């Protein structure tokens, strides 16, 4: 890609937000968030949990790769969510 295209992508990412659309989403949503995530702060998950009408938020004690490092804890939650929503 060109430098111009890359710059335009950066500008679009910096100025766009999906927050206004979240209350319109009716799909059941499981939000998994680590309380020690240096990449995506926990506050982001809390905001999504409040704005998505059918969201279930689970905060786990781990970081960004919790689905890998805490799989024993999180896999049953995901399986249960899928079973409940089927």
Summarize pLDDT for 5-24 with one digit per residue, the tens. 988 888 887 777 888 999 99
Do residues 34 and 62 touch, judged by C-beta distance below 8 A?
yes
Does some domain include residue 7?
no
Q: Does position 63 have pLDDT exceeding 80, yes or no?
A: yes
Residues β-bridged to residue 58: 32
Do residues 42 and 64 touch, judged by C-beta distance below 8 A?
no
What's the total number of domains in the chain? 1
Q: Which domain holds residue 71?
A: 19-85
Does some domain include residue 13?
no
Does some domain include residue 29?
yes
Q: What token pair was written down for 27?
A: 């799909």
Does some domain include residue 76?
yes
pTM equals: 0.79
Does some domain include residue 53?
yes
Does some domain include residue 28?
yes
- Tens of pLDDT, residue by residue over 19-34, are 899 999 999 999 999 9
| CA of residue 80 relative to chain centroid, distance | 18
Q: What token pair was written down for 28?
A: 């059941």
């Amino acid at each position: 890609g060109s430098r111009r295209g890359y710059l335009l992508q950066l500008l679009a990412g910096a100025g766009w937000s999906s927050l206004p659309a979240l209350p319109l989403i009716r799909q059941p949503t499981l939000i998994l968030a680590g309380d020690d995530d240096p990449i995506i702060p926990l506050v982001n998950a809390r905001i999504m949990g409040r704005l998505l009408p059918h969201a279930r938020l689970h905060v786990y004690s781990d970081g960004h790769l919790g689905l890998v490092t805490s799989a024993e804890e999180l896999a049953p939650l995901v399986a249960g969510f899928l079973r409940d929503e089927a």
